Structure 1
Amino acid sequence: MDVTDGKARNLAALTAAVGGFALVLRLYLTLHDGTSVAKGLIDYFGFLTEWTNGLVFLAMATPLLAPHSKAGRFFMRKDVIGWVTSSILFVGIAYFLLLSRNGPKEGLGWLANVLLHYAVPAMVAIYAAIGLRGTALPWAAPLWWALYLIVYFIYALIRGALIDRYPYGFINVDRLGYAMTVRNGFMLLLAFLLLSYALLLIWRFALARNRAA
């Protein structure tokens, strides 16, 4: 997306601000729950939510702060915008379906969850709807987008084996075993691919409508 466009800049700046605030708030809450700083940091960087909202922050802020840098140009690529959008929407949908019932219902923890899992995904979806409307991204693009989830899954398993603590119950090897954990990971990967291809179809449908008009 062209960050020189006023609407794009404002939306990117707002998304980066909200996401950055929510990440700092979550870090504050994690480090003030009675555990050590080291344990808090290990827990904080164990979740896909923090990984992906950090990715969104970079994707929104870097083109604004350094549009002509290699990183700035990378995050302005349309296929990269698609990757970031699919990833953060996957985080929001997975949280709503699998984890929200056990989340905090009030206070700062509730606020952080709402911002990270609902507000930021919604703003990124709007950003992508503007920037990718009428864009025919390659059909193979979701396959490389999925590498992000695979890397995280491997990281979570290695991290869990080293510290005997897993970020999510559905990939807890100690409780489920490797066979069930890998099966759950495969199902989540399949869900991510289905979401990504649905988004590609939506963006391509907008292209067809534009041509028809």
Structure 2
Amino acid sequence: MVTGAGTPWWIRLLRTGFGVLGVVALLWIPLRNASGFSAANYLSYFTIESNILGVVVLLVGGLADPGSRRWQSVRGASTLYLLITGVVYALLLARVDVMLSDKWINDVLHRVLPIVLIADWLLVPARLGVTARLIGGWLVYPAVYGVYSLVRGAIVDWYPYPFLDPRGQGYLSLLIGLVLLAAVFALLASAVAGLGALVSRSGRSAPVSAGHEGSAWHG
């Protein structure tokens, strides 16, 4: 196992291959549904946004293999967001229409790429530390996404997911659900950071560049 730059060629090759697969899956949806397709709604799904970031991380990691602490934080954030995508889909959305009628695309975006990012994080771990600043930085995006979805939904009368739709459940029930999700997301974020540190230590990998722990966007 290695951390950062110096990743084995076969891991970089797999990153690139799965990154290309993700690009094809993400582009197939608008290309297949050109008539009546809403780009704004499409890009308002957490699944799509997290997979776009995941694809970028895979391609950059495969082609350039950066080794900075900032990049490792972004890798961790992307792993977390796709883990959230996979967990939420499995628990809450497996039987819900989320605009992915093609089974192979549904599998790639909700199952394959989340597993790939988690496997990549375990094979090439980063010892970032489990700190409030790191976890809080990673959780900024899901929090902003939730606010965006509620505000936009009230304006356009469309919500990407049932658990973000207050029209049938009311705001109190929605708030309770969001608090529970936030707690789950915090646990998942801690698990991602903790696994990175644990696997790095067991593999005797050196920690990423020195300095204090930062958020997902601070190196």
Could you tell me the TM-score, scaled by structure 1's length? 0.81
Residue 11 of structure 2 aligns with which residue?
8
- Flag structure 1 segments of 5+ consecutive residues without an equivalent: none
**Contact 1:63–1:76 under 8 Å retained in 2:** no
How far did residue 168 of structure 1 move?
0.8
2:81 to 81, 87, 93: 87
Query: Separation in 1 of the partners of 2:203 and 2:5?
Result: 19
Query: Separation in 1 of the partners of 2:178 and 2:136?
Result: 15
Tell me if 1:115 matches 2:108: yes
SS in 2 for 1:101: coil
Tell me if 1:19 matches 2:39: no
How far did residue 99 of structure 1 move?
0.8
Would the alpha carbon gap of residues 209 and 61 (structure 1) be closer, same or farther in structure 2, given more than 3 Å must change? closer
How far did residue 75 of structure 1 move?
9.0
2:59 to 55, 58, 61: 61
- Kindly indicate whether structure 1 or structure 2 has the higher relative contact order, using CA contacts under 8 Å at least 6 residues apart: 2
Query: Separation in 1 of the partners of 2:32 and 2:175?
Result: 31
Residue 151 of structure 2 aligns with which residue?
158
Residue 144 of structure 1 aligns with which residue?
137
Query: Separation in 2 of the partners of 1:192 and 1:102?
Result: 21
Would the alpha carbon gap of residues 64 and 207 (structure 1) be closer, same or farther in structure 2, given more than 3 Å must change? closer
Query: Separation in 2 of the partners of 1:3 and 1:207?
Result: 15
How far did residue 188 of structure 1 move?
1.3
Which letter maps to 2:30? L
**Greater helix share, structure number:** 1
How far did residue 165 of structure 1 move?
0.7
Query: Separation in 2 of the partners of 1:131 and 1:189?
Result: 27
Query: Separation in 1 of the partners of 2:54 and 2:26?
Result: 11
Tell me if 1:176 matches 2:174: no
Residue 50 of structure 1 aligns with which residue?
48
Residue 202 of structure 2 aligns with which residue?
209
SS in 2 for 1:165: coil
**Contact 1:89–1:121 under 8 Å retained in 2:** yes
Higher mean alpha-carbon deviation, 147-156 vs 77-86, is at 77-86
How far did residue 43 of structure 1 move?
2.1
- Flag structure 2 segments of 5+ consecutive residues without an equivalent: 205-219
**Contact 1:11–1:123 under 8 Å retained in 2:** no
Which letter maps to 2:197? R
How far did residue 162 of structure 1 move?
1.2
How far did residue 163 of structure 1 move?
0.5
Tell me if 1:124 matches 2:122: no
**Contact 1:2–1:8 under 8 Å retained in 2:** no
Which letter maps to 2:167? D
Residue 92 of structure 2 aligns with which residue?
98
**Contact 1:89–1:125 under 8 Å retained in 2:** yes
Would the alpha carbon gap of residues 59 and 208 (structure 1) be closer, same or farther in structure 2, given more than 3 Å must change? closer
Would the alpha carbon gap of residues 210 and 63 (structure 1) be closer, same or farther in structure 2, given more than 3 Å must change? closer
Which letter maps to 1:186? V
User: Root-mean-square deviation (CA), in Å?
Assistant: 2.6
Q: Deviations over 1:161-187 (max 9, x none)?
A: 110011111110222233322322222
Query: Separation in 1 of the partners of 2:69 and 2:15?
Result: 12
